[in-house]
Chains A and B, each alone.
Chain A
Amino acid sequence: MKKAETSPVLLTSKKYVKQSQIRIILHNLRKNTGAMIGLGIILSLIIVSCLSDIIFDYDTEIAGINIADKLIRPCREHIFGTDDLGRDIFKRVLYGAKYSLGVGFAATMIGMFIGVIFGSIAGYYCGLAEDIIMRCNDVLSAVPSILMGIVIVSALGASTFNLMLAIGITSVPQFVRITRAAVLSVRNQEYVEALKATGMSEARIIAFHIIPNCMSPIIVQITLRIASAIIAASSLSFLGLGVPVPAPEWGSMLNLGRQYVRTASYLTIFPGLAILITVLAFNLLGDGLRDALDPKLRK
Chain B
Amino acid sequence: MAETILEVRNLKKYFKTARGMLHAVDDVSFSIEKGHTLGIVGESGCGKTTTGRCILRLVEPTSGEIYFEGKDILSLNRSEMKSIRKDMQIIFQDPFSSLDPRYTINQALSETLRVNRIRTGKKAIEDRVLELMETVGLAERLINTYPHELDGGRRQRIGIARALAMEPKFIVCDEPVSALDVSIQAQILNLLEDLQEKLGLSYIFITHDLAVVNHFADEIAVMYLGQIVEKAPTEELFDNPVHPYTRALLSAIPIPEVMENRPQTLLTGEISSPINPGNECRFAKRCRFACEGCRQHCPELVQIKPGHFVACSRTGEV
Contact = CB atoms under 8 A, between A and B. Distances in A.
Interface string B124-163: 0011001100100000110111100100000000010010
A261 interface: no
A17 B130 CA distance: 16
Contact of A11 (B99, B143, B145): B143
Interface residues of B, number: 42
Contacts of B104: 18
B99 A191 contact: yes
A197 interface: yes
A213 B97 CA distance: 12
Contact of B85 (A3, A6, A197): A197
B82 A199 contact: yes
A199 B115 contact: yes
8 contacts: A3-B130, A3-B134, A8-B123, A15-B141, A195-B100, A198-B162, A199-B115, A213-B101
A196 interface: yes
A60 interface: no
Contact of A189 (B58, B97, B165): B97
A193 B92 CA distance: 9
Nearest to A204: B115
Contacts of B162: 194, 198
A194 B112 CA distance: 11
A3 B131 contact: yes
Contact of A194 (B92, B123, B134, B146): B92
B56 interface: yes
B102 A197 contact: no
A11 B133 CA distance: 14
Interface of B: 53, 56, 58, 82, 85-86, 88-90, 92-94, 97-104, 106, 111-112, 115-116, 123, 126-127, 130-131, 134, 140-141, 143-146, 149, 159, 162, 165-166
Contacts, number: 86
A194 B101 CA distance: 13
Nearest to B78: A201
A263 interface: no
Nearest to A6: B140
Given A190-B98, A191-B99, A198-B162, A18 B145 contact: yes
A10 interface: yes
A17 B144 contact: yes
Closest A-B pairs by Cβ, 6 of them: A18-B144, A190-B98, A199-B85, A190-B97, A199-B82, A16-B144
Interface string A133-167: 00000000000000000000000000000000000
A127 to B, nearest CB: 13
Given A16-B144, A199-B82, A11 B94 contact: no
A212 to B, nearest CB: 5
Contacts of A204: 115
B129 to A, nearest CB: 9
A7 interface: yes
B89 A197 contact: yes
Interface string A230-243: 00000000000000
A19 interface: yes
A10 B143 contact: yes
Given A18-B146, A191-B97, A213-B102, A10 B140 contact: yes
Contacts of B90: 193-194, 197
Contact of A212 (B53, B102, B146): B102
